[in-house]
Amino acid sequence: MRILFWGTPEFSLPPLRALIGEAFDVVGVVTQPDKPVGRSRSTLEAPPVKKMAIEEGIPVFQPERPRGDEFMAQIGALEPDVSVVVAYGHILSQQVIDLPRLGTINIHASLLPKLRGAGPIQASILQGDTETGVTIMRMVKALDAGPSILQMRTPIPDDETFGELQLRLAEMGAMALIEALALMAIDRATETPQSDVEATYAPKVDRPMTRVDWAADASVVARTIRAFDPKPGAFTQFNAMDVKLFGARLIGASAGAPGEVLAIDDAGMVVACGTGSVRIANVQPAGKRRIAPVEWLRGRGIAVGQRLS
């Protein structure tokens, strides 16, 4: 089976690695253009899947937008049997979706129709789900609305961060993808339409979503920090400066005002919430590296009794 692979971030790597390691012929990789990095923005950094594709000798395509006669001719010449999309970052046209003989399938990091959209992993943690998974679905023009081909489920531990869950789901998605493609290859795949009535949505992460509300219950605060750990990092403010927070754990009742620092020691920083309190393992004041709260205390950055906002 000839595969045209679409993806960009680290989440795309396990599925691509799995395809390369199995009896599939990856005939091309479509990814985002290289991005400028550094303070001067003069250095270009290649997407992770591009680096892997080059190492494997797979042709790479990096259109600004995946459309146009020239691009369609390029991918059409590859004669793919199926396209596999994993966090590519652009909406594909119906022409692109329909180009392969078997169409286009997508790995989505939720149990569709729940949490369609750009941020399903973060949303699942934020809303306190105890279970999530991956869905292999046929791609259609509507957002994450195509029929499901295969799903795999997994529990969400109450201390798991976005980064940890994302890694697990990427590996799970790779396994599910190989199974779905094997079924498609022998014409045994069953496609189940989604229920639009049961659909929920997970918007793209933006800055307001990542701000900690200390007046909320400690469980909500902990989930907010976990949902954006390690990227982009949930934040609070201290002395009108942003401080990112990592490694939140519930520790029970508190006697302080919301946002008040109750204790700082080698185990972290205890902060009062609207109800209960949380322990923060690491902080990152604006413009500085990530450090332990006790190091922040020694540098006179913060002290017990002061408040985060």
Chain segment 113-141, per-residue pLDDT in tens: 999 999 999 999 999 999 999 999 999 98
Q: How far is C-alpha 291 from the geometric centre of its chain's CA atoms?
A: 24
Going by pLDDT thresholds of 50, 70 and 90, the confidence category of residue 89 is: confident
For residue range 267-283, what is the model confidence (pLDDT) as tens digits? 999 999 999 999 999 99
Write out pLDDT tens, residues 297-307.
Answer: 999 899 999 99
What is the predicted pLDDT for the residue at 107? 97
237 and 133 part of one domain? no
Give per-residue pLDDT as tens, 183-206: 999 999 999 999 999 999 999 999
pLDDT in tens, 201-259: 999 999 999 999 999 999 999 999 999 999 999 999 999 999 999 999 998 787 899 99
- Domain holding 104, by residue range, is 2-198
Q: Of 167, 198, 229, which one is at a domain's C-terminal end?
A: 198
For position 214, what pLDDT does the model report?
A: 97
More confident residue, 39 or 112: 112
Q: Which amino acid is at 208?
A: P
State yes or no: pLDDT of 23 exceeds 90: no
What is the residue-averaged pLDDT of the chain? 95
Q: Is residue 181 in a domain? A: yes
Instruction: Identify which of 274, 273, 267, 275 has the alpha carbon closest to the alpha carbon of residue 293.
Output: 267
- Is residue 67 located within the same domain as residue 139? yes
Number of domains in the chain: 2
Domain boundary among 177, 198, 219: 198
Residue 25 has pLDDT above 90, yes or no: yes
45 and 130 in a single domain? The answer is: yes
Whole-number pLDDT of residue 149 = 98
Q: Which of 198, 229, 254 is the last residue of a domain?
A: 198
Which residues are bridge partners to 26 per DSSP? Answer: 3
Kindly report the pTM of this predicted structure.
Answer: 0.94
Q: What is the pLDDT of residues 51-72, one digit of tens each?
A: 999 999 999 999 999 999 999 9
With a cut of 80, say whether residue 38 has pLDDT above it. Answer: no
Residue 41 pLDDT > 90: no
163 lies in the same domain as 44: yes
Mean pLDDT, range 144-154, rounded to an integer: 97
- Confidence band of 293 (pLDDT split at 50, 70, 90): very high
- 79 in any annotated domain: yes
Task: Write down the pLDDT at residue 252.
Answer: 79
The answer on pLDDT for 98 being more than 90 is yes
Whether 135 and 282 share a structural domain: no
- Please report the pLDDT score of residue 178 as a whole number: 97
Task: Note whether residue 307 is domain-resident.
Answer: no
Q: How far apart are CA 170 and CA 134, in angstroms?
A: 9
Torsion sign, CA atoms 164, 167, 171, 177: positive
Q: What is the pLDDT at residue 282?
A: 98
Task: Reply yes or no on whether the pLDDT at 147 is more than 90.
Answer: yes
Residues 6+ apart with CB under 8 A from 85: 6, 7, 92, 104, 105, 106, 107, 139
Band of the pLDDT at 37, cuts 50, 70, 90?
A: confident
